[in-house]
A and B are shown apart, each in its own frame.
Chain A
Amino acid sequence: MEQLILSLITGIFIAGTAGYLGTLMLSKRMALVAGPLGHLTLPGIALALIYGFDVSLGAFPFVILGIILIWLIEIKTKLPLEALTAIVFALGVAVSFLFLPIAKAETALIGDITKVSLNEVIISALLCLLVFFVVKKIYPKMVLINISEDLAKAEKINVKKYNFLYLMAIAIIVALGVKMVGGLLTAALVAIPACASRNLSKNLLEYICLAPLFGIFSAVFGILLFKLTGFPAGPLIILGSGLIFLISIIFKK
């Protein structure tokens, strides 16, 4: 029972914050970027599993590396972001399978939130709160940047600074997200709640509020269903948000 509560708390914090950040990523047409970043963390997760430290800790440096790589290659080649994600994501998966012990592959790929310790819960919750407040602080400016960087620059907004904070927030959420749903499914954690919310909302306020709620609902849904069925929690969480998305299509205004 105690373990269940720890998992639920972690899930609620991470999924809620991921949903919130996801609304910015969707409006920046970057919802899928969390995908390759998630995949890139796989070597880090593999290392963490082999040497027995926190998977988020293993994942974090690889997300940062991924962000820098994607950013540099984009500047250098002007290839579209989605093409770069294809390259980066395949490399991440390939490298990790060179040394990932197959017995641990499932945890790396689809996560395992059902065995979190109290320390992990506290650290995850604190990081989520940090990300939440940073995102809340930069949100209006980021919306303007997402609408038009030129307009934002004309308003004397330091676009580089805001983009940097935004990318750091993504890095932390992806690193936390892999613990929950694994390297394969992190994109879903940010993208699906935001997409469902976009379907249903008529204004920015609804859009921002619904996405974290959907994220939290999926986390609770997935973790409880794991308790009942014994299927892995990560995929169940994503299926939960998939269900919300399907419902949102029916009620799309």
Chain B
Amino acid sequence: MSNNLILKVKNLKVQINNEKIIENLSFEVKKGEVLTILGPNGAGKTVLLKTLLGIYPFEGEIVWKEGVRIGYVPQRLPFIKNIPITVEEFFKLKNLSKKEIENILNEIGFKENLKKEVGNLSSGQFQRILIGWALAKNPEVLLFDEPMTGIDIKGEETIYTLLKRLKEKRGLTLLLVTHDLSVVYKFSDFVICLNKYPVCQGAPKDVLSPETLRNLYGEEIKFYQHYHK
């Protein structure tokens, strides 16, 4: 694997309970790139992330750069409400000192009390906490599942501004799962349209045409490309 590559995936096939979830997927990710995985619900996006993390078995090849540190931001953590755990205690699960915790919270713009229960945070603050938690051991790559879930438009923008800032500051490589097209245009270097099979792959401007999106989401979708200066 060349120095510049962080991840190489070749002929990936994932089956869960005898159901084919992903087939015939190959791609590469270079250091510092933002890769977006786009697709409708049930297309296998989350499964792809989890397979890359080693959670599901697979056929084919997944090669990470040797010794790579990976941070994972899950879509949601519904069960955390069952546990009376404060923000500080949640970070301590990763063996961080108070100073390290404060530094990270500062970096992600978390303004609330450290002693607040994680289950009582607003969804925007909660997502910041998850990002901060994923960043805690200085990962080179961040895998991020559906960043905007449950957050209003204003909050959504802020999460992306935050990601952009973190990426520039830390030189992060990002793998994002989303179905938000504007994010893809504004932010990604490379996009994979996934609907079990890869429907398209490439730079967003090159591959996202009304036609590929129709293939991806079905006939109903109406799509207009906006250009950002």
What is A's interface to B at a CB cutoff of 8 Å?
Answer: 26-27, 29, 140-141, 143-144, 146-148, 150-151, 153-155, 198, 201-207
Contacts and interface: CB of A to CB of B under 8 A. Distances in A.
Given A151-B74, A154-B143, 8 more contacts: A140-B92, A150-B50, A150-B55, A150-B74, A154-B55, A154-B70, A202-B84, A203-B85
A150 to B, nearest CB: 6
B86 interface: yes
Interface stretch (B5-13, B75-83, B193-201): B75-83
Contacts of B89: 203-205
Interface centre among A143, A148, A203 (most CB of B within 10 A): A203
B84 A201 contact: yes
Nearest to A197: B84
Given A203-B117, A205-B89, A146 B83 contact: yes
Contact of A154 (B53, B82, B92, B93): B53
Interface residues of B, number: 22
Contact of B77 (A26, A29, A148, A198): A148
A207 B89 CA distance: 12
Given A151-B72, A153-B55, A204 B79 contact: no
Nearest to B137: A155
B54 interface: yes
Nearest to B76: A148
Contacts of B54: 153-154
B117 A29 contact: no
A29 B78 CA distance: 12
Contacts of B77: 147-148, 151
B93 A144 contact: yes
Interface in B54-112: 54-55, 70, 72, 74, 77, 79-80, 82-86, 89, 92-94
Contact of A202 (B53, B70, B92, B117): B117
B74 A204 contact: no
A146 B77 CA distance: 10
B84 A203 contact: yes
B154 interface: no
Interface string B34-58: 0000000000000000100111000
B115 interface: yes
